[in-house]
């Protein structure tokens, strides 16, 4: 067993906020691995099968499932302490099960309470700066200059290797010149998002009469619309193209509008897509790597979502 810790976290801002708090707690002696609900069980299995099993495993901002629980049991039997922090919906009975097998479980099913906040409430008891780090998870909407700048910097790292930046956050180090440039680019992207949201979007009617707002940010790096769409416009769903091969679809957070029936593999006139994610909140739509993206891919996705009876 190795003396270092393993942090498995989601690759969004909230997940990186969690990682920074834990890097600080571990004094930097840790490995950070990004994952998601689909792959978490495999990441835990890899830790279990490694030549040197970590003494601590932290899982943050990722929901658990039955398979993951099996590997948690095996890790704890091997002597590893497993701490899990999350705020996503879990299957019935799983919270009680994880409370029994995890060394520590910090859980609150509320999308309005990010994992970074939950972790900060726990670690803040021993280190108040961790609570300050956790507050960054709320900074997309409001926050101090410090919080907003860190949120922007972490946003610029989504999908990239951001360990040096997380280290600087963990140990309260100043921004580098490169950091400041990234923060400015993200601030510019935020203004672009506000401009887009100030204009009425394309709106389609689904088969069941619900409204679907459609945006395309694939040519606008760093622009994130998120829940602000629903603050600006009275629509039920929002579909956003975020890159040449990827889209996201979200449901209005204050309404019971499940998305489960959209999930899975689908053939759109020869264009194979996979739809996955959190069925009560946000799904990702991706054209498979083996498939060619036709010029009308965006329109095909819109048509498919609009005509599918998924409510």
Shared domain check, 205 and 171? no
Shared domain check, 160 and 14? yes
* pLDDT value of position 21: 98
Shared domain check, 79 and 183? yes
Domain of residue 255: give its range: 200-307
**The whole model's pTM is what?**
0.84
Domain boundary among 163, 188, 213: 188
Task: Report the CATH number at residue 138.
Answer: 3.40.50
For the chain, give the secondary structure using H, E and C: CEEEEEEEEECCHHHHHHHHHHHHHCCCCEEEEEECCCCHHHHHHHHHHCCCCEEEEEEECCCCCHHHHHHHHHHHHCCCEEEEEECCCCCCCHHHHHHHHCCEEEECCCCCCCHHHHHHHHHCCCCHHHHHHHHHHHCCCCCCHHHHHHHHHHHCCCCCCCHHHHHHHHCCCCCCHHHHHHHHHHHHHHHHHHHHHCCCCEEEECCCCCEEEEEECCCCCCCCCCCHHHHHCCCCEEEEECCCCEEEEEECCCCCCCCHHHCEEEEECCEEEEEEEECCCEEEEEECCCCCCCCCHHHHHHHHHHHCCCC
* pLDDT value of position 241: 97
- The answer to the question of residue 128 being in a domain is yes
* pLDDT value of position 5: 96
- The answer to the question of residue 193 being in a domain is no
pLDDT in tens, 283-294: 899 999 888 899
Shared domain check, 122 and 50? yes
Shared domain check, 210 and 142? no
- The answer to the question of residue 123 being in a domain is yes
* pLDDT value of position 109: 82
pLDDT in tens, 112-133: 789 999 999 999 999 999 999 9
* pLDDT value of position 111: 64
Domain boundary among 161, 188, 215: 188
* pLDDT value of position 221: 86
- The answer to the question of residue 194 being in a domain is no
Shared domain check, 241 and 138? no
Shared domain check, 283 and 171? no
Shared domain check, 178 and 30? yes
Domain boundary among 137, 155, 188: 188
- The answer to the question of residue 260 being in a domain is yes
* pLDDT value of position 68: 97
From first to last of the 311 residues of the chain, give the pLDDT tens digit: 778 899 999 999 999 999 999 999 999 999 999 999 889 999 999 999 998 999 999 999 999 999 999 999 999 999 999 999 999 889 999 999 999 999 999 999 876 789 999 999 999 999 999 999 999 998 766 789 999 999 999 988 887 768 999 999 999 999 999 999 999 999 999 899 999 999 999 999 998 899 999 999 999 988 989 878 999 999 999 999 999 999 999 999 888 787 888 889 999 989 999 998 777 678 899 999 888 899 999 999 999 999 987 66
* pLDDT value of position 140: 67
Shared domain check, 166 and 229? no
The structural domain count of the chain equals: 2
């Amino acid at each position: 067993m190795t003396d270092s810790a393993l942090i498995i976290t989601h690759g969004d801002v909230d997940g990186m906020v969690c990682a920074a708090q834990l890097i600080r707690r571990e004094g930097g002696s840790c490995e950070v691995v990004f994952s998601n609900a689909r792959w978490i069980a495999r990441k835990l299995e890899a830790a279990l099968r490694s030549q040197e099993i970590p003494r601590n495993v932290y899982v943050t901002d990722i929901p658990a499932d039955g398979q993951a629980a099996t590997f948690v049991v095996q890790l704890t039997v091997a002597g590893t302490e497993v701490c899990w922090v999350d705020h996503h919906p879990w299957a019935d009975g799983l919270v009680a099960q994880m409370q029994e097998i995890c060394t520590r479980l910090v859980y609150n099913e509320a999308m309005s309470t990010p994992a970074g906040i939950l972790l900060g409430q726990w670690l803040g008891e021993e280190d108040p700066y961790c609570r300050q780090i956790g507050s960054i998870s709320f900074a997309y909407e409001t926050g101090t200059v410090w919080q907003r700048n860190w949120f922007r910097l972490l946003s610029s790292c989504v999908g990239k290797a951001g360990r040096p930046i997380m280290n600087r956050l963990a140990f309260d180090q100043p921004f580098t010149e490169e950091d400041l440039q990234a923060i400015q680019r993200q601030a510019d992207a935020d203004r672009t998002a506000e401009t887009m949201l100030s204009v009425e979007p394309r709106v389609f009617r689904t088969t069941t009469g619900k409204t679907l707002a459609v945006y395309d940010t694939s040519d606008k790096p760093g622009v994130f619309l998120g829940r602000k769409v629903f603050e600006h416009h009275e629509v039920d769903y929002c579909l956003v193209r975020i890159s040449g091969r990827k889209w996201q679809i979200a449901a209005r957070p204050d309404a019971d509008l499940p998305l489960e029936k959209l999930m899975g593999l689908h053939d759109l006139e020869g264009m194979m897509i996979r739809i996955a994610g959190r069925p009560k909140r946000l799904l990702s739509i991706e054209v498979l790597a083996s498939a060619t993206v036709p010029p009308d891919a965006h329109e095909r996705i819109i048509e498919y979502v609009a005509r599918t009876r998924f409510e």
